[in-house]
Amino acid sequence: MAKVNLSFEEMWQRIISCDRNYDGCFYTAVKTTKIYCRPSCKSRKPKKENVQFYKTKTEAENAGFRACKRCKPDIELAPQEELVSEVISFLTCNYKEVITLESLSLHIGVSPFHLERVFKHVTSESPRTFLEKVRVEKAIHLLKNTDNTNLEISLKTGFKSTSTFYKAFKNSLHTSPSEYRKQWRSSQI
């Protein structure tokens, strides 16, 4: 499974937004109910102080938690959905890496053509477009929570150059990273 490089706060935000893109990257366990869930679970959200995160289902189960009956994190998906879930998990957890369709298909164990066709069929976008969205999402988090420069953010989020970063950011949000940060900070006053 893909490695998880998320802070507690980032994982908390993912479960609050029921982000299915992180399913398989980590599991959320609630101390008071002794239940663990996928990040996308639609169940009522627990208090932050009652939450623990685990990298695998096995870790959560070994810690004494049982699978949620609503999101069923212990049940495997249909083959196409499983493939897409694995790709999404890998891209989401390894967004900083240089990832090509060929390297991704080698990791997943299918041909590049099959991988892209199935991914587009299930998600209506290419793996590359999805990866770009993940990187922009990470950049937004850094713009809001750090004083890193745009260059530092572009490098930390896996963009090969600042021009690629600016273009992806502008295509996604119709504004530059600097303008986004300025608007966000002014809205926090």
Distances (CA, A) of 165 to 8, 94, 129, 161: 26, 17, 13, 6
Q: Which residues does the annotation mark as catalytic?
A: 37
DSSP 8-state symbol, 7 = -
Which residues fall within 8 angstroms of residue 153, CB to CB, at 6 or more apart? 139, 142, 143, 146, 165, 177
d(CA 39, CA 18): 6
Which residues fall within 8 angstroms of residue 15, CB to CB, at 6 or more apart? 28, 37, 39, 41, 45, 51
Q: Do 150 and 165 touch, CB atoms closer than 8 A?
A: yes
Residue bearing tokens 């949620």: 68
Strand order in the sheet with 51-54: 51-54, 27-30, 35-37, 66-67
